[in-house]
Amino acid sequence: MSTVVKENQGAVILDGKAVAAKERQKTAVRVGEFAAKFGRPPGLAVVQVGEDPASTVYVRNKRKSCAEVGIASFAHDLPESTSEAELLALVKRLNDDERVDGILIQMPVPKSIDADRVMDAVDPAKDADGFHPMNTGYLAQKRPRLRPCTPYGVIRLAEHYGIDLKGKRAVVVGASNIVGRPMALELLLARSTVTVCHTGTRDLRAEVERAEVLVVAVGRPEFIPGEWIRPGAAVFDVGINRLPDGKLVGDVGYAAAAARAGWITPVPGGLGPMTIAMLLSNTVDAAYLRKGVPIA
């Protein structure tokens, strides 16, 4: 019965905001347990270099969310003129600071700074974003440790709604180091059959039309027309794009996609809150790992 309703009325909306709130509740409990055991809360350093307006909003949300679950947040706001050496020196200080379990450098950093060098400098045990090549490598070898937050958020959201990824034809559009590539590794871990599309892909439409699970992370407003969505597909839209009129839209044409999909994430209220929830969860995982306690 419920399947018929779903087909007649369009997609189930994947409520990232609600699921993220549940994840934060679980994290808050683990934060309390950690603090009782070790005499201090888990700590996350959130570093922003420059004043990119979107980054400022994300960083504010991350710090606010830390406070909500009881994680100690250490704010470092550096000017646009910060040199790579200065940022690396801060990363070293944070690596050596016992109160800091997680380190997050908000991307993008100014062009004068080599982002790869900065990510490589973060202690992999404190890599709350899961961006360090060592953590990507662990994920590639199907023994995940600290997992990149947005791809991990997609997996948790799918789990929450009972979307079985095993055996599904999954297509990822976008091959960035922070979303597309680790997303492909997460889907592979979940036993999907995975295709990654990028600027070298010959027939993007044909690939998308085959997708039973579609993840789009390209950062361009409504880049994938909703008409391309395979009927019944699970659609995870990672994009958050602000239009000139101030409206936020994803990377997928939402209205047409929602009429065809089985499940779809809204923008906003989909993967944005899930990403932050997984960051908080990673911070507590990192705190326990640093105390020698394996992740549950």
The answer to whether residue 107 forms part of the interface with ligand GUN (CB under 6 A) is yes
Which CB atom, from 130 or from 226, has the smaller least distance to ligand GUN? 130
Site for ligand GUN in 244-283 (CB under 6 A): 275
Question: What Cα–Cα distance (Å) separates residue 259 from each residue in 9, 161, 237?
Answer: 8, 19, 15
SS3 265: coil
Judged by CB under 6 A, the residue of 87, 104, 234, 287 near ligand GUN is 104
Cβ-proximal residues to 210 (8 Å cutoff; 6+ apart), any chain: 169, 171, 195, 230
> H-type helices in 167-270, by residue range?
180-189, 204-209, 254-260
Tell me the closest approach of the beta carbon of residue 13 to ligand GUN, in angstroms. 23
Judged by CB under 6 A, the residue of 129, 207, 237, 251 near ligand GUN is 129
> H-type helices in the chain, by residue range?
2-9, 16-38, 53-69, 84-96, 115-121, 133-140, 149-160, 180-189, 204-209, 254-260, 271-290
The answer to whether residue 73 forms part of the interface with ligand GUN (CB under 6 A) is no
SS3 74: strand
Calpha distance 142→131 (Å, rounded): 16
Range in contact with ligand GUN (rule: CB under 6 A) among 9-17, 103-111, 154-162, 226-234:
103-111
Judged by CB under 6 A, the residue of 82, 106, 281, 282 near ligand GUN is 106
Q: Are 288 and 281 in contact (CB under 8 A)?
A: no
Can you read off the two tokens belonging to residue 133?
A: 């090549």
Which CB atom, from 70 or from 102, has the smaller least distance to ligand GUN? 102
Tell me the closest approach of the beta carbon of residue 178 to ligand GUN, in angstroms. 6
Tell me the closest approach of the beta carbon of residue 210 to ligand GUN, in angstroms. 28
**DSSP letter string over 104-163?**
EEPSPPPTTS-HHHHHHHS-GGG-TT--SHHHHHHHHTT--SSPPHHHHHHHHHHHHTT-
Kindly state the helix (H) or strand (E) to which residue 235 belongs, with its residue range.
strand 234-237
Which residue is at the shortest CB distance from ligand GUN?
107
Judged by CB under 6 A, the residue of 149, 154, 190, 224 near ligand GUN is 149
Length of the chain, in residues? 296
Tell me the closest approach of the beta carbon of residue 60 to ligand GUN, in angstroms. 13
The residues annotated with a catalytic role in the active site are 62, 106, 129
Tell me the closest approach of the beta carbon of residue 148 to ligand GUN, in angstroms. 7
Site residue total, ligand GUN (CB under 6 A): 9
Q: Beta-carbon neighbour count of residue 284 at 10 Å?
A: 27
Which CB atom, from 129 or from 251, has the smaller least distance to ligand GUN? 129
Which CB atom, from 152 or from 228, has the smaller least distance to ligand GUN? 152
Range in contact with ligand GUN (rule: CB under 6 A) among 33-41, 100-108, 190-198, 239-247:
100-108
Tell me the closest approach of the beta carbon of residue 246 to ligand GUN, in angstroms. 20
Rule CB under 6 A: which residues touch ligand GUN?
104-107, 129, 149-150, 178, 275
